[in-house]
Amino acid sequence: MTSDPQILFIDHTGELAGGQLCLADIAIRLRDQCQVFLFQSGPFQELLEKNGVVVALPNRESGTLSVRKKSRWFAYLGSIPVLISLVFNLVRVAKGFDLLYANTAKALMVSVPVALLLRKPLLFHLHDIIGAQHFNRINSWLLLTGANLASGIIANSEASASAYRRAGGNNRNLKVVPNGFSVERFQADVTELSEVLRKSFGDEDRALVGLFGRIAVWKGQKVLVEALAQLPQVNGIIVGEALFTDEDQQYKNEVLALAEKLGVSNRLRFTGFQADVLPHLEAVDVVVHCSISPEPFGRVIVEAQLAGKPVIATKGGGPSEIIEDRVTGILVSPNNAGELASAIKELLEDRKWAEELAVNGRQAAVLRFGLESVLKEWIAFIYRNVPTATKFRSVAASETELQTSSTAPALDSSTRSTRKG
Ligand code: UDP
Ligand code: GLC
C-alpha cells in the first residue's frame, strides 16, 4: 500500500483566531490527505474550503459546548447532550482516518472518547497555557486529563509545555513546535493601501501605534487606551474583533467607554476584523501587544516582526520566547500602562534604534518561524505518530525525513499505561 496516512483535524470553532490560522497552514499543505471536522461553520470553514480543504460538519446543528472560565457545574451537565451528539457525529466521520488531531481543548473533549471507541491515535495541539489565569479548575482538569490520554501533544511554545507539566501533565510524547509564517506574505508591497489607511486614521504626520488581535479581557486592549491617555501626540488603532463570547463583546464596549472617559476616542480607531492584517501593520509606526495574562504564543508579534515593525509586547509566555528584550523588540510588564507608554515614547523619540530593533526582529523571525521549516518539523511529528507509518510513502514523508522507528500506537488502555511517567 502506498497511499498517504489520512488525517482528520478537529476544531470546535468556525471563527478565525490564532489557533485556527495555525491549523489552516498544515491542513492546506496536507489537503490531499486530510479533512477538517468543525463543530460549527463560519469564516474558518470558508478559508479552508477556498484553499481546497474538505470540511465536515455535524449532521445538524449540535448546539455549542459553552463551558467557559466562569461556568458553574450545571453548565457542564447541560453540555452533556451536546457532547454526546458531537461524539456520534465525529465517529461517523472519523472511521476512515488513520489519525485524529484535536486542535482545541473543546475538540479534545469530543475526540478522546471517539479515539478510544475507534482505537485511533489522537494528537492534541496545545495552544493554551493551563493555569488559573486562563481556565477554571474543572476546565483545567478536563484539559489535562484529555491531554494525558492523547497519543502525543504538540505545544505552541515552551511556556505552554511547561504549564502543562506544572499542572500535572504526564504525556511524554510532547513536542514544542512554534507557529510558522509565510515570510513572502509579509514582504508583499502594500504601500499604496497602507498610505490610504494611514491618511484615513487622521493626521498622517502623527505617530500611529497598532494593537492587533481579537478583543477579549485577557488581551488587554484597555491597557493601550490608558497608555494613549499618557501620550497626547499619538494615535492608535485596534485591529480585531470580539470573536467568541458575550463577555468579549461586553469588554469591547468597556474599552470604548474607557476611551471616551479618558478623552482618547478621537485618537483611537477600531477597524474590526481584517482578513489581511498586512496593510494595517504597514500603516503603523509601532506594534504593541498588551495581554494581561501570559500569551501562549502570540502570532501577532511574529507577524509584526516579519512586517518590519518595532514591537512592544507583554513579558511572560510566548512573547518572552519570541522577543529578546531591547534587541529584537521590547518587553514590558503586564497590565502596566505607564511602562507601555514609556516604551512607545522611547521608540518614537529614537527612530534609529526603533529601526534597529525592527531589523533584528525581522531577521530572528525569518530564521525561527519560516513556514517551510516549521511545517517540516510538524509533519514529521504527525507521521511519527501514525502507527503503520512504514507502509505509507509520500512526498511529505520523504521531505520530512520520516523516522518510522518511533511510531506511536493507537490510543487504548494498554498504551496509556506505558506512557505514564
Ligand atoms: N488577525 C486577523 N485579523 C484581525 C486581527 C487578527 O487575521 O483583524 C489574526 C492575526 O493576524 C493573527 C491571529 O489573528 O494571525 C491572532 O493570533 P494570536 O496568536 O496573536 O492570538 P489569538 O487570538 O490566537 O489568541
Ligand atoms: C492560541 C493562543 C495564541 C497562539 C495561538 C496559536 O489562540 O492564545 O497565543 O498564538 O493559539 O498557537
Which tens digits make up the pLDDT trace of 350-383? Answer: 999 999 999 999 999 999 999 999 999 999 999 9
* Percent of all residues in the chain with a pLDDT value above 70, rounded to a whole number: 87
Which of 299, 305, 369 is the best mutation target for the ligand 2 pocket, counting ligand atoms within 8 Å of the beta carbon and taking the most?
A: 299
SS3 per-residue string spanning 112-157: HHHHHHHCCCEEEEECCCCCCCCCCHHHHHHHHHHHHHCCEEEECC
- Assess whether the region 7-180+370-419 and the region 184-369 belong to the same CATH fold: yes
Say if ligand 2 is within 6 A of residue 394 CB.
no
Residue among 108, 160, 297, 300 whose CB has most ligand 2 atoms within 8 A, to mutate: 297
Dist. CA 366–CA 320, nearest whole Å: 17
Atom of ligand 1 nearest to the CA of 21: 15
The reported pLDDT for the residue numbered 132 is 83
pLDDT band at 59 (very low <50, low <70, confident <90, very high): confident
Count helices and strands (H / E) in the chain: 17, 13
pLDDT band at 20 (very low <50, low <70, confident <90, very high): very high
Pocket of ligand 1 (CB under 6 A): 17-19, 21, 212-214, 239-240, 273-274, 277, 297-300, 303
How far is 282 from 301, CA to CA, in rounded Å? 14
Angle at 124 between CA 120 and CA 130, to 5 degrees: 145
pLDDT at 66: 65
Average confidence score pLDDT of the chain: 89
| Higher pLDDT, residue 247 or 55 | 55
Q: Is the CB of 62 under 6 A from ligand 2?
A: no
Which H or E element spans position 197?
Answer: helix 191-200
| The ligand 1 atom nearest the CA atom of 303 | 11
User: How many residues belong to the chain?
Assistant: 421
Rounded Cα distance between 108 and 120, Å, is 14
What pLDDT is stored for residue 77 in this prediction?
61
Q: Name residue, grid cell 492523547.
A: 150
Q: Which atom of ligand 2 is nearest to the CA of 17?
A: 7
Question: Which DSSP state fits 67?
Answer: -
d(CA 311, CA 331): 9
Average pLDDT over residues 37-48: 96
| Residue 195 host element (H or E) | helix 191-200
Pocket probe for ligand 2: among 9, 25, 125, 127, the residue whose CB has the most ligand atoms within 8 Å is 127
Higher pLDDT, 274 or 401: 274
Predicted confidence (pLDDT) at residue 154 exceeds the cutoff of 70: yes
* Chain centre to alpha carbon of residue 250: 22
Q: How confident is the model at residue 67 (pLDDT cuts 50, 70, 90)?
A: low
- Give the range among 241-245, 252-256, 392-396 with minimum mean pLDDT: 392-396
Centroid of ligand 2 to alpha carbon of 126 (angstroms) = 9
Give how far Cα 342 sits from Cα of 32, 242, 248, 332, 359, Å. 50, 28, 28, 10, 21
Asked whether residue 99 carries a pLDDT value surpassing 90, the answer given is: yes
* pLDDT level of residue 115 (50, 70, 90 thresholds): very high
CATH no., domain 184-369? 3.40.50.2000
Give me the pLDDT at residue 368, please. 97
- Give the lowest-confidence range in 129-133, 224-228, 249-253, 343-347: 129-133
Atom of ligand 1 nearest to the CA of 16: 14
- Is-contact 313 306, C-beta < 8 A? no
**To test ligand 1's pocket by mutation, which of 299, 303, 311 has the most ligand atoms within 8 angstroms of CB?**
299
Region 7-24 average pLDDT? 97
Domain ranges of the chain: 7-180+370-419, 184-369
Instruction: Name the helix (H) or strand (E) containing 61.
Output: none
C-alpha cell recorded at residue 379: 509533519
pLDDT in the model for residue 82: 86
pLDDT band per the 50, 70, 90 thresholds, residue 203: confident
pLDDT band at 412 (very low <50, low <70, confident <90, very high): very low
Question: Does residue 162 register a pLDDT over 90?
Answer: yes
Q: Strand 122-126 and strand 99-102: pairing?
A: parallel
Give the per-residue pLDDT at 79: 76
Ramachandran assignment for 335, one of left (phi > 0), alpha (psi -120 to 50 degrees), beta (any other): left
How far apart CA 393 and CA 170 sit, in angstroms, is 32
C-alpha cell at 326: 531591547
Ligand 2 centroid–CA 21 distance in Å is 9
Is the pLDDT confidence value at 404 over 60?
Answer: no
Q: Which ligand is nearest to the CA of 271?
A: 1
Q: Cα-flanking dihedrals φ and ψ of residue 27, to 5°?
A: -65, -40
Cβ–ligand 2 contact at 252 (below 6 Å): no
Residue 307 is predicted with a pLDDT of 98
Identify the H or E element spanning 394.
none
Average confidence (pLDDT) over 12-25 = 96
Place of cell 493601501: 193
7-180+370-419 topology per CATH: Rossmann fold (3.40.50)
pLDDT band with cut points at 50, 70 and 90 for residue 111: very high
